[in-house]
């Protein structure tokens, strides 16, 4: 089973256990909203552009509300559980596009619950996350008001640092496992187990910055 499929399955198991109305780290969304978002993302290509484009966000939000109105929560989770649309037809795309998406949203649900702890991910999954993060870091950190240097812990010595954020001014060093650095760069700074070092004011600005794709 691919990491995309295992994260999808684990997220759906958790959604089934928690039910609708449980909190998530996605601002304004509970588990019902998140399930509807994931169904929309795979099965309503007409509404996908509004996920990233504010001018189309109203239509996307209306489609998401209609999905909730049409489907009871268990039905939405069942739709999420099986890759839909093009991802169902082309499994390699599911792995390429959904691995990080489902990992992050799995953690969005896990870390919104009390007494959560980080998971111990397989080493090859951490390696994959670091490879993807290294390619995406500049995009994810483009709105950072300060320079950022990412340092991966674990996975062997000699890992190169990854730079992003502002080119001028102070830099903040962010250290942690690849999975925690990914969550930090996806805008989950308050729930990522990382260490920040450098100018204290710059570090606080980074913690509250809007990060992510």
In angstroms, the CA 23 to CA 113 distance is: 7
Q: What is the pLDDT of residues 1-38, one digit of tens each?
A: 899 999 999 999 999 999 999 999 998 999 999 999 99
Q: Which of 51, 86, 110 is the last residue of a domain?
A: 110
- 159 pLDDT band, cuts 50/70/90, is low
pLDDT score, position 155: 66
70/139 same-domain check: no
The residue segments making up the domain with residue 61 are 3-110
Q: What is the pLDDT of residues 85-119, one digit of tens each?
A: 777 777 788 888 899 999 999 999 999 999 999 99
- Decide if 116 is inside a domain: no
Through-space distance between the first and last CA atoms of the chain, rounded to whole angstroms: 27
- Decide if 95 is inside a domain: yes
152/82 same-domain check: no
In angstroms, the CA 73 to CA 85 distance is: 20
- Decide if 77 is inside a domain: yes
Structurally, the chain folds into a number of domains equal to 2
pLDDT score, position 49: 77
Q: What is the pLDDT of residues 70-84, one digit of tens each?
A: 999 999 999 999 887
Sign of CA dihedral 53, 56, 59, 62: positive
More confident residue, 187 or 165: 187
Q: What is the pLDDT of residues 170-192, one digit of tens each?
A: 999 999 999 999 999 999 999 99
Predicted confidence (pLDDT) at residue 157 exceeds the cutoff of 60 = no
pLDDT score, position 190: 95
């Amino acid at each position: 089973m691919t990491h995309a499929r295992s994260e999808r399955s684990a997220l759906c198991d958790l959604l089934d256990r928690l039910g609708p109305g449980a909190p998530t780290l996605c601002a304004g969304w509970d588990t019902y909203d998140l399930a509807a978002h994931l169904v929309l993302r795979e099965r309503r290509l007409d509404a996908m552009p509004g996920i990233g484009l504010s001018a189309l966000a109203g239509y996307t939000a209306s489609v998401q509300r209609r999905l909730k109105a049409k489907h009871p929560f268990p039905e939405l989770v069942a739709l999420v559980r099986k890759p839909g649309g093009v991802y169902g037809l082309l499994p390699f795309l599911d792995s390429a596009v959904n691995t990080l998406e489902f990992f992050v949203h799995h953690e969005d649900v896990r870390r919104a619950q009390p007494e959560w702890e980080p998971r111990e991910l397989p080493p090859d999954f951490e390696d994959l996350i670091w490879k993807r993060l290294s390619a995406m870091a500049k995009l994810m950190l483009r709105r950072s008001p300060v320079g950022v240097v990412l340092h991966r812990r674990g996975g062997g010595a000699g890992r190169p640092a990854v730079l992003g954020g502002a080119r001028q001014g102070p830099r903040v060093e962010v250290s942690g496992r690849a999975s925690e650095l990914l969550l930090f760069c996806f805008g989950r700074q308050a729930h990522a187990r990382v260490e920040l070092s450098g100018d204290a004011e710059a570090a606080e600005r980074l913690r509250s910055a809007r990060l992510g794709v």
